[in-house]
Amino acid sequence: MQTDIAALLSNTAPILPVIKVEKAEHILPIANALAEGGIKGLEITLRTTAGIKAIELVKKAGLDVVLSAGTVTRPEHVDALADIGVDFAVTPGLTPDVLERAQRKGVQLLPGIATPSEVMTGLAYDLRFFKLFPASIVGGIGMLKALGGPFPDLKFCPTGGLNLENFRDYLSLPNVFCIGGSWMMAFQGGEPDTSEITRLAAEATGLLG
């Protein structure tokens, strides 16, 4: 049974930054800059070889953040995350092999879905929280409203195409518990622009009211 992932994020802004790092050592300055701007949740993606090491660095540093791993696509990703320990793992899609490995390993999963059929597959595994991805491509707000009809008790984290101009429209929906986005990730010369990351994070959290 999936735990209440919304509760995990209750002490931070309902914004889950999607973070891709080319160098693992960049993650601590990024995490600290986000926290200074009011965002203490991280989705560190496995899109690069630095992803796992970056997650390990955050874990070892003992930062007061909600730590999640993104772009989890293979069972062996789940194995590595179980050894490290994360609050939850995020997938771009939903497959039985990853779901079953996560349940066996005790790794909480926020699986990506794009169709009602995928939601129903998740229900068969007692899941109640999902990531809608890629949100802007698969119908966005209209899709979330439509899913609320047959699945009134489910909650979603839309990710993909969200930005400063539209994220509050998503958060206003009753079946959205958080949103994912990468627009606050700023780099300059290949290095994290921490002052800009803090500014963008604070700009977003300042709009939450």
pLDDT of residue 66: 97
Give 112-124 pLDDT, tens digit per residue: 999 999 999 999 9
Alpha-carbon gap, residue 120 to 129, rounded angstroms: 12
With a cut of 80, say whether residue 76 has pLDDT above it. yes
Q: Please check the confidence at residue 1 and state whether its pLDDT lies above 70.
A: no
- The pLDDT value recorded for residue 101 is 97
pTM higher than the cut 0.85 = yes
Map 20-46 to HEC letters: CCCCHHHHHHHHHHHHHCCCCEEEEEC
43 in active site:
yes
| pLDDT greater at residue 10 or residue 61 | 61
Mean predicted lDDT score pLDDT of the chain: 97
The CATH code belonging to domain 5-204 is: 3.20.20.70
Q: What is the 3-state secondary structure (H, E, C) of 166-180?
A: CHHHHHCCCCECCEE
Catalytic residue status for 131? yes
DSSP-derived 3-state class of residue 156? strand
Structural domain boundaries in the chain: 5-204
* Average pLDDT value for residue range 138-150: 98
Question: Which among 20, 36, 131, 155 is annotated as catalytic?
Answer: 131
Q: Which of 20, 43, 56, 60 is catalytic?
A: 43
- State the average pLDDT over residues 133-148: 98
**pLDDT tens, 83-132?**
999 999 999 999 999 999 999 999 999 999 999 999 999 999 999 999 99
> Which pLDDT tens digit goes with each residue over 173-200?
999 999 999 999 999 999 999 999 999 9
> How many alpha carbons lie under 13 Å from residue 77 in its C-beta half-sphere?
26
